[in-house]
């Protein structure tokens, strides 16, 4: 038996791909996908795993509007639209795939801990105990599985304060990103009246101030705030050589630029389901570089002065740079960072030169 803890996108997607004949999925909530703590923006890359049914899509984003601290704005026309999803329905949709595959679903059953018994484990939930061969922690930022296995590591968190709001003056199909509030902040329209509005940060006092500024005269309909783990490059993904694994937020697989984690959790789940023995190698080979670049970009942006942030927006206003952003999926910056660095020397001055060795020693050593 394989025990998967957490029916978020990472856990359900893993369960839908795992071919073992006895997979049990434990979710502490009675309803999967709720409460919502997410904006639900996904790029087109999700379609490599599953076509997204129309009824899950609340709106489509065609443009990003980046607003610099000096108030000047720059638009990125996305070559492929982003989807704003009904996050609860999306989680239920992925869960249905796991159910179709034959997973045994335990809703309203909380993982409490485990004991090792020979080569197996005895897990304890809020209802029963189970003998199991493998435990997959897909249980979110604070991962009780990681804690119980002693592999939570030294992770840090940011807070995402978000609400669904009735918002005055929305541009339909345009996501606003404000660089002067929090680490960054966003207004994502559902239609011309309602938006998902949020700000990211660590300091409560500053968050409160910035959130108030961002919300302005809007009317809060629903609070959707939550915690997000910072990617930790040293995060253990497996307890030693045992059969206890972590995926998704539980494994800090979140890109730190815009704090999106849905796609990464699904990719990690896919790798683990394909072969647990190559899971870590595949994550290191195919995801770690993008996660690392995003982390470094976030550190850089957090240390930028307002003047530098204004300059960065100006640099990306330039058509040739703007085109690179428009064309590529922001989840995978390793695919375009070299191009940007080669096109735009001004980025080096802003600190982007830290990527040159890591990304392409061949290109840059000449």
Ligand X SMILES: Cc1cc2nc3c(=O)[nH]c(=O)nc-3n(C[C@H](O)[C@H](O)[C@H](O)COP(=O)(O)OP(=O)(O)OC[C@H]3O[C@@H](n4cnc5c(N)ncnc54)[C@H](O)[C@@H]3O)c2cc1C
Residues that bind ligand X in the complex, under the rule CB under 6 A: 5-11, 26-29, 37-41, 110-111, 138-140, 144, 160, 162, 198, 225-226, 228, 248-250, 254, 259-262, 265
Q: Give whichever of 28 and 210 is closer to ligand X, judged by the CB atom.
A: 28
| Nearest partner of 126 among 30, 231, 200, 56, judged by Cα | 30
**In terms of CB distance, is 67 or 197 closer to ligand X?**
197
Do 295 and 48 touch, CB atoms closer than 8 A? Answer: no
Instruction: Check: CB of residue 253 under 8 Å from CB of residue 247.
Output: yes
CB 138 within 8 A of CB 16: no
Alpha-carbon distance 300 to 71, whole Å?
20
Pairing of strands 2-5, 23-27: parallel
Give the shortest CB-166-to-ligand X separation in angstroms: 18
Instruction: For ligand X, give the closer residue by CB, 184 or 316.
Output: 184
Q: How far is the CB of 184 from ligand X (least distance, A)?
A: 12
Residue 275, SS3 per DSSP:
coil
- Residue whose CB is less far from ligand X, 332 or 352: 332
> Shortest Cβ distance from residue 302 to ligand X (Å)?
18
Tell me the two tokens of residue 75: 């638009």
Q: Which phi and psi angles does 184 have, rounded to 5°? A: -170, 170
Q: What distance in Å separates the CA atoms of residue 9 and residue 266, rounded to the nearest whole number?
A: 6
**Of 258 and 310, which CB lies nearer to ligand X in the complex structure?**
258
CA distance linking residue 59 with residue 62, whole number of Å: 10
Minimal distance in Å, beta carbon 38 to ligand X?
A: 4
Please report how close the Cβ of residue 247 comes to ligand X at its closest, in angstroms. Answer: 7
106: left (phi over 0), alpha (psi -120 to 50) or beta: beta
Bridge partners of 194?
A: 166
Nearer residue to ligand X within complex by CB, 236 or 310 = 236
Taking the complex as a whole, the smallest distance from the CB of residue 290 to ligand X amounts, in Å, to: 13
């Amino acid at each position: 038996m394989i025990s998967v803890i957490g029916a978020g996108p990472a856990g359900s997607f893993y369960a839908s791909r795992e071919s073992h004949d006895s997979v049990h999925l434990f979710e502490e909530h009675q309803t999967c996908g709720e409460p919502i703590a997410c904006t639900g923006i996904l790029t087109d890359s999700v379609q490599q795993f599953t076509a997204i049914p129309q009824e899950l899509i609340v709106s489509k984003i065609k443009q990003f509007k980046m607003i610099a601290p000096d108030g000047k704005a720059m638009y990125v026309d996305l070559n492929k639209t982003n989807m704003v999803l009904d996050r609860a329905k999306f989680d239920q949709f992925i869960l249905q795939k796991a159910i179709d595959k034959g997973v045994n679903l335990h809703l309203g059953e909380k993982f409490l801990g485990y004991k090792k018994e020979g080569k197996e484990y005895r897990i304890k939930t809020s209802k029963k105990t189970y003998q199991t061969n493998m435990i997959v922690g897909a249980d979110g930022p604070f991962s009780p599985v990681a804690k119980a296995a002693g592999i939570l590591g030294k992770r840090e968190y940011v807070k995402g304060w978000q609400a669904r709001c009735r918002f005055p003056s929305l541009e339909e199909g345009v996501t606003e990103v404000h660089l002067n509030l929090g680490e960054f902040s966003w207004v994502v329209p559902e239609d011309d009246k309602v938006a998902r509005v949020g700000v990211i940060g660590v300091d409560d006092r500053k968050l409160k101030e910035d959130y108030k500024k961002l919300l302005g005269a809007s009317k809060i309909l629903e609070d959707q705030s939550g915690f997000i783990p910072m990617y930790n490059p040293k995060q253990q993904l497996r307890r030693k050589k045992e059969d206890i694994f972590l995926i998704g937020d539980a494994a800090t697989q979140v890109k730190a630029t815009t704090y999106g984690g849905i796609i990464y959790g699904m990719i990690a789940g896919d790798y683990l389901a394909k072969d647990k023995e190559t899971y870590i190698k595949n994550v290191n080979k195919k995801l770690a570089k993008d996660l690392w670049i995003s982390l470094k970009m976030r550190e850089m942006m957090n240390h930028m002065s307002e003047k530098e942030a204004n300059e960065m927006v100006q640099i990306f206003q330039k058509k040739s740079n703007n085109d690179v952003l428009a064309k590529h999926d922001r989840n995978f910056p390793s695919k375009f960072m070299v191009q940007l660095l080669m096109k735009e020397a001004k980025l080096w001055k802003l600190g982007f030169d830290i990527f040159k060795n890591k990304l392409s020693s061949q290109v840059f050593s000449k």
